[in-house]
């Protein structure tokens, strides 16, 4: 969940402006012009499914305001030409999309045929039967041409994250992985290599830490939130050998948990700017792009921001590496994808239309058209390993910095961990409780052990209720 | 303009359990300057507001020039009112204030202008027409209120203590002017006041209110010289009448024990032979002197000429002029 | 005396700064390039650019439709609120109704309810009548907040106007409605202006209900602002430009009403407006 807006958007916008489109009319004119552009539906017709079986349906899809969804929205006329299904997108701010989706699902109003879903929410959707498992549709030859769609190409960790009790609930559309992002010039000056272990990472940070010259040694997301500090801490926790569940019970304050939190607090208090407690990924990327961070661990997709010539001062000085190993010997990365589930409250025909939309959006063809084959926004978070390893993709990211492609694909293929975060229907509350505890330890309000003990107590209450 | 007559019969006004007016009967003749006099809370203002249509009645009827207006809206009654606070419209100029009642009935512009000029001239504020009320003195504001009331040539003119916010000197001047205005316009005026001097000097006739009832109606002379009840007697006059319970030590000879005697301070004389009294206080007011005299436990006030001034703490003897005695029934308070 | 004035002046300037600094900072940011925004130390001298405004007003990230959406929602809410609240507040201030005190408390209570608790019921109700993502739906919900608040505020202004003022008007043959129109409303101008500002501002700035009950059709500028805080990065300069654009209507309204507000405050203070 981070960055790829970048220069292409700006360039294309400049073109529109240069074209002298009238000031106020511009947005509509631009969209209209897009819709009029000839669409090529040929490659999709290779699939042995009847694309027009749900013709006339109208779908609303909730997405977040993000370049990668803009790329999809730009391609939507192709889908309409292909299927005769009308699709409308509604952009919901990231902080509200979960709440709005739950409102819609729980009231069974069927407003959103599908929405950009947080993988941690599928347990909740499944246990309430708000969304249909998609294995039936995946296996139905009338709906899916398995040979054309090639579901197995989609990154397994992401598919795993969208699976509950063995049944898939959402098809990943876009995603990311977390990696080390460092300044290779600073590392070279000190003769450092990217850290192989968490200990090394701290040592590297100490070596390049030079706050007097506005270079801080290492940082991670410090902001409290299930998708912020609780997005980073689980990787450390698992690398320290932590297990979320002991004999079926959620345990937050295990010795590994405490050690992991101590490591995180230590790094951030010693080698991050004091403001890090309020920092989320865009802030980290902004700081790194201004040369004030020597290292941070965050999403690979930040690369587009870091390489945006409009903003960045560190282009050409960036290197990437997988997460270091923890005491357990494991490297654990985050698993994130925006997937599309099927709303259970839809009519049968609308479900088929929705499924056609999902397979269209997540197909290799659309993935390519919204990424390396796009003339506008080029997404980084492609959902298929073969495409990530393709020449075309490699050419697109060749200037992003040392080892970008390798670190990213290896991380996705090897470092993903199904037990990365505790999967359970109560995740929203559990995630927020943990986020609060982590921040309490970070700002020094509580000792790590104390903070986790308290979180444990609260979570026990939540699970009881 | 024809001056209106007023008839109120059997007016009862209740606010929940509280009775503000307990049966009022009143007649005002056309062209009369009629005052409603009484202490505060006696019901005189409520009566005026009922006449204006600002209050409804619980029982009874109100007739204006013979027409039943008991349930008519204020605007349907052809009455104008001057409020104690003047109630000028602060966002309008003087001229807009005065013309307001005419504009509300869509008079012709030209006629409005003439009427405003005429009304303003009558109260001598022609030079203030473009000012806002906030820029005027209290006296000027009062004149604007008068002008607004007379501009529409109402049949009945209601005034609610219009002079009470003026200083003493201005009050005397305006009083005279008010009477002159009423006469010149030949309009019936009902005037509410708690100031007996105003009521006595202005009115053709007046009604004295006590506890939601009218206790006496008459000309100022009648009311002053023959107060109908002990309460009226104790209210009128400055200082008011001395009230002496019958049978009080020293005055037994005058009447029996079942009465109350009233005597105006001016009818109390210091003499050589009479009732023993002690002078407790003396107030000199130019030509006159007020003396507080204690007869046993009873306070008697006397109004004396400057030459008769007694010394404080002096022992004197007093005499009450028997021809000036008012006698009231002790049980009913009524004049005998 | 002079020293005291200096201290007062200093405090006033400081308070002004606290007020204006964020706005000025936003204004300056909106005129910078992204690079200048992030520069450290913050650049004071830079080449101002209007590109952020161009991006905010046209092109794919244009917030113009959202500004229009906000104007429709806030304008309708304010208009309807005032049309309903003025007579209601006038009646409440003049009638001795037995439930008056209770009504006042009810109004306060509605303001105290955490709005989060109401989002879901409102969503379900609007959903049932098919009014989610419609102007009438959002305006209706805003009315439920704005109306009690406006009535409560206006009552206090109406109560300050002496009853005799309208009694005079009634005797002057104005009738109830014209008394309200010609005599009461002009004197409550300040209070009405204040109420209009508050109601408009509240609905203009509202986010929670707008995001949940709105959608593609009704998407006020507060929601659209998030287009610049995407999941990928915060576009500070454009965000600042959008914020400036979003602030402008409110500031303009404030300036327009300022005269009336000040008047409304001083009329009461100076000589009671000729009432005493």
DSSP string, A140-165: -TTT--HHHH-GGGB-HHHHHHTEET
DSSP chain C: -HHHHHHHHHHHHHHHHHHHHHHHHHHHHHTS-HHHHH-SSPPSS----SHHHHHHHSSTT--HHHHHHHHHHHHHHHHHHHHHHHHHHHHHHHS--TTHHHHHHHHHHHHHS-THHHHHHHHHHHHHTT-TTSHHHHHHHHHHHHHHHHHHHHHHHHHHS-HHHHHHHHHTT-HHHHIIIIIIHHHTHHHHHHHHHHHHHHHHH--HHHHHH--SSS--HHHHGGGGB-SS-B-HHHHHHHHHHHHHHHHHHHHHHHHHHHHHHHHHHSGGGGT-
Percent pLDDT > 90 in chain C is 33
Mean pLDDT along residues B44-70: 94
Identify the sign of the CA torsion A79, C223, C31, A313. Answer: negative
Whose structure tokens read 């010997």? A329
pLDDT at C86 over 90: yes
d(CA A119, CA B86): 74
Nearest to B79 by CA among B179, B178, B189: B189
B123 & B179 share domain: yes
A vs C, Cβ pairs < 8 A, gives 113
Q: Which residue of B has its CA nearest to C189?
A: B91
Instruction: Tell me which residues of chain C have a C-beta less than 8 Å from any C-beta of chain A.
Output: 33-35, 38-40, 54-55, 57-62, 64-65, 119-120, 123-124, 127, 132, 211-212, 215-216, 223, 226-227, 229-235
CATH label of the domain that carries residue B247: 2.40.50.140
d(CA C157, CA C152): 9
List the domain range (segments joined by +) for residue A63: 6-158+165-173+340-388
| Tokens of residue A231, six digits | 């997005």
Residues B227, B212 contacting (CB under 8 angstroms): no
Gyration radius of chain B over CA positions: 24
> pTM score, two decimals?
0.78
Mean pLDDT along residues B59-79: 93
Q: Do C211 and A304 touch (CB under 8 A)?
A: no
Is residue B335 one of the residues assigned to a domain? no
Which residues of chain C have a CB within 8 Å of the CB of B141? 274
Which residue in C95, C98, C167, C168 has the most chain B C-beta atoms within 10 A of its own C-beta, making it the best mutation to test that interface?
A: C168
B52 & B186 share domain: yes
Helix intervals (H) in A19-145: 26-36, 67-83, 94-106, 122-127, 135-139
Confidence of residue B252 (pLDDT cuts 50, 70, 90): low
Q: Do C267 and B136 touch (CB under 8 A)?
A: no
- What three-state secondary structure class fits A298? strand
> Does B have 3 or more CB contacts under 8 Å with A?
no
C-alpha B251, offset from chain centre: 33
CATH label of the domain that carries residue A193: 3.40.190.10
DSSP A383-410: SBHHHHTSHHHHHHHTTS-BTHHHHHHH
Q: Chains that contact C by 3+ CB pairs under 8 Å?
A: A, B
Residues A424, A123 contacting (CB under 8 angstroms): yes
List all residues 6 or more positions away from A15 whose beta carbon is below 8 Å from its beta carbon.
none
B116 & B100 share domain: yes
Which residues of chain C have a CB within 8 Å of the CB of B69? none
d(CA B161, CA B40): 11
Nearest to B333 by CA among B213, B251, B221: B213
pLDDT value for A11: 41
State how many domains chain B has. 2
Is residue B62 one of the residues assigned to a domain? yes
B51 & B182 share domain: yes
pLDDT at A16 over 50: no
A267 & A407 share domain: yes
- What three-state secondary structure class fits A30? helix
d(CA A128, CA B231): 86
Is residue B301 one of the residues assigned to a domain? yes
Q: Do B75 and C183 touch (CB under 8 A)?
A: no
State how many domains chain A has. 2
Residue that terminates a domain, selected from B229, B248, B265? B229
Nearest to A353 by CA among A16, A78, A79: A79
Kindly list the distances between the CA atom of residue B175 and the CA atoms of A38, B181, B182, in Å, as whole numbers in the listed order.
95, 10, 11
Question: Where is pLDDT greater, at C230 or C239?
Answer: C239
Kindly list the distances between the CA atom of residue B171 and the CA atoms of A10, A231, B193, C145, C171, in Å, as whole numbers in the listed order.
82, 85, 13, 52, 25
Is residue B193 one of the residues assigned to a domain? yes
- DSSP one-letter code for A264: H
pLDDT value for A196: 97
B153 touches chain C (CB under 8 A): no
A285 & A345 share domain: no
Residues C237, C34 contacting (CB under 8 angstroms): yes
Q: Do C35 and A311 touch (CB under 8 A)?
A: yes
A450 & A376 share domain: no
Instruction: Tell me which residues of chain C have a C-beta less than 8 Å from any C-beta of chain B.
Output: 162, 164-165, 167-175, 178, 182-183, 186-187, 189, 267, 270-276
d(CA A270, CA A276): 11
Question: Where is pLDDT greater, at C104 or B138?
Answer: B138
Residues C174, B104 contacting (CB under 8 angstroms): yes
* Residues A223-241 pLDDT 10s: 999 999 999 999 999 999 9
B193 & B242 share domain: no
B290 touches chain C (CB under 8 A): no
B23 touches chain C (CB under 8 A): no
Residues A67, A4 contacting (CB under 8 angstroms): yes
Question: Where is pLDDT greater, at C119 or A255?
Answer: A255
Is residue B1 one of the residues assigned to a domain? no
d(CA C163, CA C167): 6
pLDDT at A247 over 80: yes
Residues B243, B234 contacting (CB under 8 angstroms): yes
Q: Which residue of C has its CA nearest to A312?
A: C35
| Tokens of residue C260, six digits | 């009336």
d(CA C186, CA C179): 10
Confidence of residue B319 (pLDDT cuts 50, 70, 90): confident
Orientation of helix C189-205 relative to helix C135-160, angle to 10°:
150
Confidence of residue A36 (pLDDT cuts 50, 70, 90): very low
CATH number of C53-270: 1.10.3720.10
A291 & A203 share domain: yes
Residues A74, A377 contacting (CB under 8 angstroms): yes
pLDDT value for C55: 86
A292 touches chain C (CB under 8 A): yes
Confidence of residue C236 (pLDDT cuts 50, 70, 90): confident
Residue that terminates a domain, selected from B229, B250, B284? B229
Residues B159, B79 contacting (CB under 8 angstroms): no
Residues A241, A327 contacting (CB under 8 angstroms): yes
A18 touches chain C (CB under 8 A): no
DSSP B165-208: TS-HHHHHHHHHHHHHHHHHHT-EEEEEES-HHHHHHH-SEEEE
**Chain C neighbours among A 32-71 (CB < 8 Å)?**
60, 64-68, 70
Q: Do C227 and A311 touch (CB under 8 A)?
A: no
d(CA A411, CA A335): 10
Which CB contacts under 8 angstroms, 24+ apart, belong to A30-37? A30/C59, A30/C60, A34/A74, A34/A77, A35/A77, A37/A77
* Residues B139-179 pLDDT 10s: 999 999 999 999 989 999 999 999 988 888 888 889 999 99
d(CA A408, CA A393): 12
Residues A350, A60 contacting (CB under 8 angstroms): no
A4 touches chain C (CB under 8 A): yes
Which residues of chain A have a CB within 8 Å of the CB of C116? none
Q: Angle at the Cα of A136 (from A132 to A142), degrees rounded to 5?
A: 120
d(CA A141, CA C32): 55
d(CA A158, CA A176): 9
Q: Do C164 and B52 touch (CB under 8 A)?
A: no
Q: Do B91 and C187 touch (CB under 8 A)?
A: yes
Which residue in C231, C235, C242, C245 has the most chain A C-beta atoms within 10 A of its own C-beta, making it the best mutation to test that interface?
A: C231
Q: Which residue of C has its CA nearest to B153?
A: C172
* Residues C29-40 pLDDT 10s: 999 888 788 877
CATH label of the domain that carries residue B156: 3.40.50.300
Mean pLDDT along residues A299-309: 91
Sheet order of strands, B275-285 included: B268-271, B315-320, B275-285, B288-295, B298-305
* Residues A412-456 pLDDT 10s: 999 999 889 999 999 999 999 999 999 999 999 999 999 999 999
B97 & B110 share domain: yes
Q: Do C187 and B90 touch (CB under 8 A)?
A: yes
B217 & B294 share domain: no
| Tokens of residue B257, six digits | 């024990």
Residues C246, C233 contacting (CB under 8 angstroms): no
* Residues C221-234 pLDDT 10s: 999 888 787 666 77
d(CA A218, CA A232): 14
Q: Do B87 and C186 touch (CB under 8 A)?
A: no
Confidence of residue A3 (pLDDT cuts 50, 70, 90): very low
Kindly list the distances between the CA atom of residue A257 and the CA atoms of A222, A248, A454, in Å, as whole numbers in the listed order.
17, 17, 13
Q: Angle at the Cα of C32 (from C29 to C38), degrees rounded to 5?
A: 75
pLDDT value for C231: 63
Percent pLDDT > 70 in chain A is 92
Instruction: Please state whether the peptide bond connecting residue C234 to the residue before it is cis, i.e. omega within 30 degrees of 0.
Output: no
Nearest to A414 by CA among A385, A392, A379: A385
Mean pLDDT along residues A93-120: 92
Q: Chains that contact A by 3+ CB pairs under 8 Å?
A: C
CA atoms within 13 A on the CB side of B296: 9
Residue that terminates a domain, selected from B178, B194, B229? B229
Is residue B107 one of the residues assigned to a domain? yes
| Tokens of residue A297, six digits | 């661990």
B88 → closest Cβ in C174, C186, C274: C274
> Over chain C, what is the mean pLDDT?
85
| Tokens of residue A279, six digits | 């920092």
pLDDT value for C257: 80
B140 touches chain C (CB under 8 A): no
Q: Do B52 and C162 touch (CB under 8 A)?
A: no
pLDDT value for B54: 93
Residues B79, B51 contacting (CB under 8 angstroms): yes
B vs C, Cβ pairs < 8 A, gives 89
C-alpha B330, offset from chain centre: 27
pLDDT value for B239: 85
A293 & A403 share domain: yes
pLDDT at A323 over 90: yes
A229 & A372 share domain: no
List the domain range (segments joined by +) for residue B323: 233-329
d(CA B99, CA B78): 16
Q: Chains that contact B by 3+ CB pairs under 8 Å?
A: C
Q: Do B87 and C164 touch (CB under 8 A)?
A: yes
Percent pLDDT > 90 in chain A is 83
B157 & B28 share domain: yes
Could you write out the three-class secondary structure of B112-125?
HHHHHHHHHHHCCC
Q: Do B91 and C162 touch (CB under 8 A)?
A: no
Is residue A1 one of the residues assigned to a domain? no
B252 & B162 share domain: no
B101 touches chain C (CB under 8 A): yes
> Over chain A, what is the mean pLDDT?
90
Is residue A394 one of the residues assigned to a domain? no
* Residues A47-95 pLDDT 10s: 999 999 999 999 999 999 888 999 999 999 999 999 999 999 999 988 8
Is residue A393 one of the residues assigned to a domain? no
Q: Which residue of B has its CA nearest to C173?
A: B75
pLDDT value for C232: 66
Whose structure tokens read 């006590």? B210
Is residue B334 one of the residues assigned to a domain? no
Confidence of residue C270 (pLDDT cuts 50, 70, 90): very low
Is residue B139 one of the residues assigned to a domain? yes
A373 & A410 share domain: no
Q: Do C35 and A310 touch (CB under 8 A)?
A: yes
């Amino acid at each position: 969940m981070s960055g790829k807006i970048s220069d292409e958007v700006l360039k294309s916008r400049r073109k529109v402006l240069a074209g002298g489109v009238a000031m106020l009319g511009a947005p509509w004119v631009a969209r209209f012009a897009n819709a009029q552009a000839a669409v090529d539906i040929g490659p999709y017709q290779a699939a042995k499914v009847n694309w027009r079986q749900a013709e006339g349906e109208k779908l609303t899809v909730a997405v977040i305001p993000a370049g990668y969804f803009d790329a999809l929205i730009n391609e939507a006329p192709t889908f309409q030409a292909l299927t005769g299904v009308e699709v409308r997108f509604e952009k919901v701010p990231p902080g509200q999309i979960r709440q709005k989706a739950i409102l819609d699902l729980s009231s069974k109003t069927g407003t959103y045929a599908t929405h950009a879903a947080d993988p941690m929410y599928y347990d909740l959707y499944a246990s309430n039967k708000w969304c249909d498992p998609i294995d039936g549709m995946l296996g139905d030859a009338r709906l899916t041409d398995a040979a054309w769609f090639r579901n197995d190409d989609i990154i397994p960790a992401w598919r795993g994250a969208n699976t509950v009790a063995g049944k898939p609930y959402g098809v990943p559309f876009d995603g990311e992985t977390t990696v080390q992002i460092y300044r290779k010039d600073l590392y070279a000056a000190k003769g450092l290599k990217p850290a192989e272990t968490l200990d090394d990472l701290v040592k590297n940070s100490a070596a390049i830490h030079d706050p007097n010259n506005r270079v801080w040694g290492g940082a991670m997301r410090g902001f409290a939130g299930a998708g912020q500090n609780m997005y980073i801490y689980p990787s450390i926790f698992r690398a320290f050998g932590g297990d979320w569940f002991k004999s079926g019970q959620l345990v937050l304050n295990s010795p590994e948990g405490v050690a992991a939190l101590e490591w995180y607090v230590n790094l951030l208090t010693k080698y991050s700017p004091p403001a890090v407690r309020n920092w989320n990924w865009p802030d980290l990327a902004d700081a790194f792009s201004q040369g004030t961070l020597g290292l941070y661990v965050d999403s690979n997709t930040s690369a587009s921001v870091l390489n945006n010539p409009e903003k960045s001062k560190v282009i050409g000085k960036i290197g990437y590496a997988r997460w270091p190993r923890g005491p357990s010997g494991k490297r654990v990365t985050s698993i994130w994808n925006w997937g599309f589930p099927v709303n259970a409250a839809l009519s049968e025909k609308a479900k088929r239309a929705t499924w056609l939309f999902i397979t269209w959006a997540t197909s290799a063809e659309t993935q390519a058209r919204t990424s390396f084959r796009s003339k506008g926004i080029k997404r980084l978070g492609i959902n298929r390993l073969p495409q990530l390893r393709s020449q075309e993709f490699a050419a697109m990211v060749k200037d992003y910095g040392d080892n970008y492609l390798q670190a990213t694909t290896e991380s996705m293929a090897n470092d993903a961990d199904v037990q990365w975060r505790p999967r359970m229907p109560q995740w929203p509350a559990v995630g927020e409780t943990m986020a609060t505890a982590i921040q309490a330890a970070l700002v020094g309000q509580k000792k790590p052990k104390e903070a986790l003990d308290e979180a444990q107590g609260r979570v026990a209450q939540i699970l009881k209720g | 303009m024809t001056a209106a007559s007023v008839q109120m019969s059997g007016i009862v006004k209740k606010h929940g359990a509280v009775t503000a007016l307990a049966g009022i009967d009143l007649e005002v003749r056309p062209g009369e300057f009629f005052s409603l006099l009484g202490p505060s809370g006696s019901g005189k203002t409520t009566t005026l507001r009922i006449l204006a249509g600002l209050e409804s009645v619980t029982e009874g009827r109100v007739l204006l020039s013979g027409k039943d207006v008991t349930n008519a809206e204020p605007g349907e009654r052809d009455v104008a009112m001057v409020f104690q606070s003047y109630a000028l419209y602060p966002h309008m100029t003087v001229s807009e204030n005065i013309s307001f009642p005419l504009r509300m009935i869509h008079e012709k512009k030209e006629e409005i202008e003439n009427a405003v000029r005429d009304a303003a001239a009558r109260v001598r504020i022609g030079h203030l027409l473009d000012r806002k009320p906030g820029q005027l003195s209290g006296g000027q504001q009062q004149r604007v209120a008068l002008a607004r009331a007379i501009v529409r040539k109402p049949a009945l003119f209601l005034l609610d203590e219009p002079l009470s916010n003026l200083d003493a000197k201005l009050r005397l001047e305006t009083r005279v002017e008010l009477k002159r205005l009423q006469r010149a316009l030949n309009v019936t005026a009902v005037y509410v006041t708690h100031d007996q001097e105003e009521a006595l000097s202005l009115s053709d006739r007046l009604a004295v209110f006590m506890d939601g009832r009218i206790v006496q109606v008459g000309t100022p002379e009648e009311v002053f010289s023959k107060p109908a009840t002990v309460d009226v007697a104790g209210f009128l006059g400055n200082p008011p009448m001395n009230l002496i319970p019958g049978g009080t030590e020293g005055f037994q000879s005058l009447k029996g024990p079942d009465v109350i005697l009233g005597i105006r301070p001016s009818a109390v004389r210091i003499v050589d032979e009479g009732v023993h009294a002690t002078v407790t206080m003396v107030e000199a007011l130019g030509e006159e002197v007020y003396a507080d005299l204690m007869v046993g436990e009873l306070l008697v006030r006397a109004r004396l000429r400057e030459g008769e001034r007694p010394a404080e703490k002096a022992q004197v003897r007093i005499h009450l002029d028997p021809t000036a005695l008012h006698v009231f029934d002790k049980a009913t308070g009524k004049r005998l | 005396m002079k020293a005291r004035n200096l201290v007062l002046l200093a405090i006033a300037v400081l308070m002004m700064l606290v007020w204006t600094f964020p706005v000025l900072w936003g204004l300056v940011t909106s005129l910078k390039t992204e690079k200048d925004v992030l520069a450290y130390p913050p650049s004071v001298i830079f080449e101002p650019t209007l590109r952020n405004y161009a991006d905010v007003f046209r092109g794919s990230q244009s917030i113009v439709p959202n500004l229009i959406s906000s104007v429709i929602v806030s304008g309708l809410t304010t208009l309807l609120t005032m049309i309903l609240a003025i007579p209601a507040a006038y009646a409440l201030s003049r009638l001795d109704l037995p439930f008056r005190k209770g009504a006042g408390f009810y109004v306060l209570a509605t303001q105290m309810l955490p709005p989060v608790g109401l989002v879901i019921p409102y969503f379900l109700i609007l959903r049932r009548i098919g009014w989610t993502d419609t102007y009438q739906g959002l305006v209706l919900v805003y009315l439920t907040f704005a109306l009690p608040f406006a009535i409560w505020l206006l009552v206090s202004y109406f109560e300050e106007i002496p009853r005799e003022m309208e009694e005079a008007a009634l005797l002057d043959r104005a009738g109830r409605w014209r008394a309200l129109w010609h005599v009461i409303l002009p004197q409550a101008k300040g209070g009405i202006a204040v109420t209009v500002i508050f109601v408009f501002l509240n609905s203009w700035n509202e986010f929670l209900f707008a995001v949940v009950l709105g959608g593609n059709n009704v998407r006020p500028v507060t929601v659209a602002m998030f287009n610049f805080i995407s999941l990928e990065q915060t576009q500070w300069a454009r965000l600042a430009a959008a914020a400036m654009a979003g602030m402008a209507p409110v500031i303009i309204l404030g300036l327009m009403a300022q005269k009336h507000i000040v008047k409304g405050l001083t009329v009461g203070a100076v000589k009671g407006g000729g009432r005493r």
